[in-house]
Amino acid sequence: MILSRNDKCWCGSGLKYKKCHLDFDKKLETLKNKGCVVPTKDLIKNKEQIEGIRKSAKINNGLLDLVSENIKEGMTTEDIDKLAYDFTIAHGGIPATLNYDGFPKSICTSINDEVCHGIPSKDVVLKNGDIINVDATTMLNGYYSDASRMFTIGKVSDEAKKIVEITKECLNKGIEAIKPWGFLGDIGAAIQEHAEKNGCSVVRDYGGHGVGLQMHEEPFVFHFGTKGTDMILAPGMVFTIEPMINGGSYEIDIDEDNGWTASTVDGSLSAQWEHTVLVTEDGLEIIAK
């Protein structure tokens, strides 16, 4: 359908097309004609949707703050899961992870050589020296936000401290690589460069993802790759960056018994940090962290 200047914009803002996404569409059209991969319209969030995702993120951020205040040696990962579940429900949200594709808990808890999708359990007790990723996705009024953080338990080794720090820097490098009308591939390139420069490797089998109206949307966000490639980053896109960085090889194995938990094949440590970000006209906004 071709919109006239005075029609209502396709984004659902209620504004006239000429006051809303007309220039945006022209810009994307020009890039597409140059051979660039451009996002489809369903990946562009309007103001109302962005506000919905921000509200969901407020719960998700609060949940991770609560975990950070309470996590300690001797706790089980199921205790953390309960904190997360209770907080989310008390604030009117729904833990999106619970029952997602059969996942049995409200958060993922991945310890030491576990890369991601660790399942909280009453049998897993946090020990002095552990590093743990807690990953939470919250749904509120149909809007999703997703973030994860690393925590160190007691006194951890220098090696463990290093992988946690390098991985956080990788996330930040990835975020700094976001330029409105730039390339998605710039993000992965920046992350890979920083990880490998520091003797670490980037997990290949998982990536970031669009998020907002569903838990996982297009595009897939690679954490390795080449500058100037992949999809154009247009204002209104919301996605996660969530590098999983290993101390040794990037190869992973999935636990055959539970079908979820990924661990490093060589037993090396792994860390992950995740933010949900919005591309704006003049940069970006970190929505969930």
* Residue found by looking up tokens 């101390």 in the block: 247
CB of 141 to ligand MF3, least distance (A): 19
The binder of ligand MF3 chosen from 17, 85, 103, 222 (CB under 6 A): 103
Residue window 89-128: x/- pattern of binding to Co ion, with contact defined by CB under 5 A: ----------------------------------------
* Closer of 116 and 166 to Co ion (Cβ): 116
Is residue 151 a contact partner of residue 73, using CB atoms and an 8 Å limit? no
Peptide bond into 120 cis (omega under 30): no
Q: Does 217 sit near ligand MF3 (CB under 6 A)?
A: no
Tokens in use for 267? 């037993």
Kindly state whether residue 289 participates in binding ligand MF3, applying the rule CB under 6 A: no
Residues 145 and 45: beta-carbon distance below 8 Å: no
Using the contact rule CB under 6 A, the part of the chain among 8-16, 18-26, 94-102, 162-170 near ligand MF3 is 94-102
| Contact call for residues 186 and 232 (beta carbons, < 8 A) | no
- Decide the pairing of beta strands 238-241 and 94-95: unpaired
**Residues numbered 42-71 forming contacts with ligand MF3, rule: CB under 6 A:** none
Neighbour tally for 196: CB within 10 Å: 14
Hey, which residues does 110 pair with through a beta bridge? 133
Residues that bind ligand MF3 (CB under 6 A): 97, 100-101, 103, 108, 117, 135, 137, 146, 240, 242, 260, 274
The site for Co ion (CB under 5 A) is made up of 135, 146, 148, 240, 242, 274
